[in-house]
């Protein structure tokens, strides 16, 4: 995975720091009576330690494998057409909802 691991673990590291900070702001409480941020702080700490370990491991031992592309060229069209169809179906779904709302409202 090499390069992809660096990007993803860096992202999770930043995310864990943010969650740890937010949890700290929520109040960690004490050992006797844990506060609202206690549990998420612990989870963020574990996420941070693990992402840091993956990041360091990948940086120290770069993979010899050729990194696979995130999106295969041949399928980019299919993915984008599906995404387009999802957008269309969402659009029609919302139109249908609006119509139903109007029908029931009047």
Partner 1 sequence: MESLHNLVMGLGTALHPVNLFYCFIGVFIGTLIGVLPGIGPVGAISLLLPVTFHVPPISAFIMFAGIMYGAQYGGSTTSILVNIPGEASSVITCMDGYAMARKGRAGPALGMAAFASFIAGTGTLFALVLIAPPLAEFGLRFGPPEYFSLMVCGLTIVVYLARGSIAKALMMMSLGLILAAVGLDPISSHPRFTYGVLALRDGLGLAQVVIGLFGVSEVLITVERSFSRVVFETKIKGLLPTLQDWKDSIFPVLRASILGFFMGIIPGISVVIPTFVSYSLEKKLSKFPEKFGTGVIEGVAAPEAANNAAASGTMVPLLSLGIPAGASSAIVLGALMIYGLNPGPLLIKESPQVFWGVIGSMYIGNVMLLLLNLPLIGIWVKVLRIPYGILFSLIILFCLIGSYTINNSLTDMYIMIIFGVMGYLMKKFDYEATPLILALVLGPMMENALHRSMIISRGSFLIFFQRPISAIFFGMALLILLSSFFSKKKLGEDILKMEE
Residues of this chain that interact with partner 1 (CB under 8 A) are: 1, 4-5, 7-8, 12, 16, 19, 22, 26-27, 30-37, 39-40, 42-44, 46-47, 50-51, 53-54, 57, 70-72, 74-75, 78-79, 82, 85-86, 89-90, 93
In the complex with partner 1, the residue whose CB is nearer, 31 or 106, is 31
The CB-of-62 to partner 1 minimum distance in angstroms stands at 16
Q: How many CB atoms are located within 10 Å of the residue 66 CB?
A: 7
The CB-of-106 to partner 1 minimum distance in angstroms stands at 20
Nearest Cα neighbor of 70 from 15, 12, 2, 16 is 2
In the complex with partner 1, the residue whose CB is nearer, 14 or 57, is 57
In the complex with partner 1, the residue whose CB is nearer, 39 or 59, is 39
Question: Are the beta carbons of 67 and 1 closer than 8 angstroms?
Answer: yes
In the complex with partner 1, the residue whose CB is nearer, 77 or 106, is 77
Question: Are the beta carbons of 45 and 16 closer than 8 angstroms?
Answer: yes
What gap in Å lies between CA 91 and CA 99, rounded to an integer? 12
């Amino acid at each position: 995975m090499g390069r992809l691991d660096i990007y993803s673990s860096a992202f999770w590291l930043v995310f864990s720091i943010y969650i740890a900070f937010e949890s700290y702001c929520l109040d960690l409480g004490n050992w006797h009576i844990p506060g609202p941020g206690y549990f998420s702080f612990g989870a963020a700490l574990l996420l941070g330690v693990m992402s840091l370990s993956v990041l360091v491991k990948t940086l120290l031992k770069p993979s010899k494998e050729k990194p696979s592309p995130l999106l295969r060229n041949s399928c980019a069209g299919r993915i984008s057409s599906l995404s387009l169809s999802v957008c269309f179906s969402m659009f029609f779904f919302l139109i249908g909802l609006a119509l139903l709302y109007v029908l029931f409202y009047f």
